Chain A
Amino acid sequence: MAPTSPFDGWPLPAFQLNSKLEIIHSSEAAQSMFGNPASFVELLDSGSVAKAEKYLRSSRPAAPVELNFFDLDGEVKLCDFHCKQTGEFPLIAVAVPKDERVMKISRQLADLRKRLNDTNYDLLLEKEETEKLLQRVRQLSAPIIELGDGHLLIPFFGDLDSAKIESISAPILSAAYEKHAEMVILDMTAMDHINEDGMDYLNSLLQTFKVMGTGNIITGVKPEHAKQLHSLKSATDLRFEASLSAVLSERRFVN
């Protein structure tokens, strides 16, 4: 190392630069932290080069200039760069690495964000699982039972609303088609509540059956559904039966 370095024994990275920002001398601390290239800007992150050129070449501010350096491990190190205000060269300057505490807080913030995000992600996956289950439950709430002889029995369980309809309509129609059903028995014994969407759906389902030439019987109608279902009757030629068992025995599925 040049014995004439003005920085012998300096504890901080220090530089002497000429007007092309080439390094004439640098302290041992500077070399062990950043290496020893010919040009000062080679030490900098590309996003700091224009800033360094502007403030070191001319208009030097009173306050230190923050610059991002690359250290020998390839990590970016933010430093306060202090230099003499007068525009003369050679320029003598000192780089003071930023307080580790700011960086530490920044890392902690990033960790916290990551944890929040992971939690969000887990919740999302759980929500997805729950939705799949719910979908399955909906499909199971209108199982399609083949009775033989072209008869299908579909008991409805629970409420009939738009979400449920969305999941049950396609399987019902394709079963009726694929199994060449002649008669579909819709059993309402275990059905709770029908809302308006439910009624519309039931209506269009019955219309579709009619077009397909499939007959249908509605069984197990409760008093609270009777009024709603009555309006359907006028639109389609529907058969209502009080009990499922009567229908089944009449058709000799049970004795």
Chain B
Amino acid sequence: MTVQARELAELFLAGEDEKAMDTVFEYLESHSHDELYHELLTPAMYLIGDWWQENIISVADEHLATAICDFVVSAAELKRKPKNGIQRKVMVLGPEGEDHYIGLKMVSSLFKDHGWEVKYLGPNLPLDAALAAAKRWRPDVIAMSAALVYRLPALKMYSDAFRQLDFKPAVLIGGRAVAGADISKFRTEKTLVVKDLPQLKNWLQTGKEVEDGSNLSI
């Protein structure tokens, strides 16, 4: 039987880094990294969010859980076999004021898995710094994430700024805030809204978006 998200969430909250890592490595023996992120770690973190809503844990506990989850994601990264490069570059970041970054790390990892060269700039990156990095490195794609619903306007502002760049990078946006939002408000060209990792994987493999209405070009 494979490990449940609940077990892992409990290890995160208990600060059991070693046990969490062992559990994840065991899981990886019979599962892919995509499955690890989408089916185990994301649900574990969402469960932690549910427990906060149920007043079982506090934000301080979430801090600890995030640190352990981050550690486990980094450790899992090292277990990945390097793929041959396909000469495509992606820059990954969160807009200013957005500190949630676990999703961003997973997105980076998925791109690497598909042979992309990844520049992970982390969350809470001011627009100036993001633009400077983009001009210097000229990525094919810029991927952004937001968990806070009120960061959607920032995502839009950043996307607009990136699309002004002369080398015309494609802009991908995702994250909890995006997955739940009415994104038709932000509709413009050349920004893709990607709901979750399976959709991202699909895009990476086929270059096409999933046409299910929840995933529109904005």
Chain A interface residues (CB < 8 Å from chain B): 46-47, 50-51, 55, 61, 63, 65-66, 78, 98, 102, 105-106, 109-110, 113-114, 117, 120-121, 124
Decide yes or no whether B186 CB sits under 8 A from chain A: no
Would A51 and B55 count as touching, CB distance under 8 A?
A: yes
Please indicate the chain A residues that have their CB under 8 angstroms from the CB of B121 in the complex. Answer: 117, 121
Would A78 and B55 count as touching, CB distance under 8 A?
A: no
Tell me the smallest distance from the CB of B82 to a CB of chain A, in Å. 14
Would B55 and A55 count as touching, CB distance under 8 A?
A: yes
Decide yes or no whether B120 CB sits under 8 A from chain A: yes
Given contacts A66-B59, A78-B59, contact A113 B53 (CB under 8 A): no
Please indicate the chain B residues that have their CB under 8 angstroms from the CB of A63 in the complex. Answer: 55
Would B59 and A98 count as touching, CB distance under 8 A?
A: yes
Given contacts A106-B63, A109-B63, A113-B122, contact A46 B149 (CB under 8 A): yes
Please indicate the chain A residues that have their CB under 8 angstroms from the CB of B122 in the complex. Answer: 113-114, 117
Interchain CA distance A117-B104 in the complex, whole Å: 13
Tell me the smallest distance from the CB of B71 to a CB of chain A, in Å. 12
Decide yes or no whether B119 CB sits under 8 A from chain A: yes
Interchain CA distance A61-B122 in the complex, whole Å: 38
Residue from B54, B60, B67, B120 in contact with A102 in the complex, judged by beta carbons closer than 8 Å: B60
Can you list 14 A-B pairs, Cβ within 8 angstroms, ordered by A? A50-B53, A51-B53, A51-B54, A51-B55, A55-B55, A61-B55, A63-B55, A65-B55, A66-B55, A106-B63, A109-B67, A110-B99, A114-B122, A124-B119
Tell me the smallest distance from the CB of B34 to a CB of chain A, in Å. 23
Tell me the smallest distance from the CB of A229 to a CB of chain B, in Å. 31
Interchain CA distance A74-B53 in the complex, whole Å: 22
Query: Is chain B's binding surface mostly helix, strand, loop or mixed?
Result: mixed
Decide yes or no whether B124 CB sits under 8 A from chain A: yes
Would A66 and B52 count as touching, CB distance under 8 A?
A: yes
Chain B interface residues (CB < 8 Å from chain A): 52-55, 58-60, 63, 67, 99, 101, 119-122, 124, 133, 149
Tell me the smallest distance from the CB of A159 to a CB of chain B, in Å. 22
Please indicate the chain A residues that have their CB under 8 angstroms from the CB of B101 in the complex. Answer: 113
Chain A: which residue is nearest B70 at the CB level?
A113
Tell me the smallest distance from the CB of A12 to a CB of chain B, in Å. 19
Would B124 and A110 count as touching, CB distance under 8 A?
A: yes
Interchain CA distance A120-B59 in the complex, whole Å: 29
Please indicate the chain B residues that have their CB under 8 angstroms from the CB of A117 in the complex. Answer: 120-122
Please indicate the chain A residues that have their CB under 8 angstroms from the CB of B59 in the complex. Answer: 66, 78, 98, 102
Interchain CA distance A66-B63 in the complex, whole Å: 14
Please indicate the chain B residues that have their CB under 8 angstroms from the CB of A51 in the complex. Answer: 52-55
Would A121 and B119 count as touching, CB distance under 8 A?
A: yes
Chain A: which residue is nearest B125 at the CB level?
A114
Interchain CA distance A51-B59 in the complex, whole Å: 14
Among the interface residues A102, A109, A113, which one has the most CB atoms of the partner chain B within 10 A? Answer: A113
Please indicate the chain B residues that have their CB under 8 angstroms from the CB of A55 in the complex. Answer: 55
Chain A: which residue is nearest B123 at the CB level?
A110
4 closest A-B pairs by beta carbon, nearest first, are: A117-B122, A51-B53, A65-B55, A61-B55
Tell me the smallest distance from the CB of A228 to a CB of chain B, in Å. 28
Please indicate the chain A residues that have their CB under 8 angstroms from the CB of B99 in the complex. Answer: 110
Please indicate the chain A residues that have their CB under 8 angstroms from the CB of B58 in the complex. Answer: 66
Please indicate the chain A residues that have their CB under 8 angstroms from the CB of B53 in the complex. Answer: 50-51
Please indicate the chain A residues that have their CB under 8 angstroms from the CB of B120 in the complex. Answer: 117, 120-121
Chain B: which residue is nearest A59 at the CB level?
B55
Tell me the smallest distance from the CB of A4 to a CB of chain B, in Å. 33
Chain B: which residue is nearest A110 at the CB level?
B99
| Given A65-B55, A98-B59, A113-B101, 15 further pairs, Cβ under 8 A | A46-B149, A50-B53, A51-B53, A51-B54, A51-B55, A61-B55, A66-B55, A66-B58, A102-B59, A109-B67, A110-B124, A120-B120, A121-B121, A121-B133, A124-B119
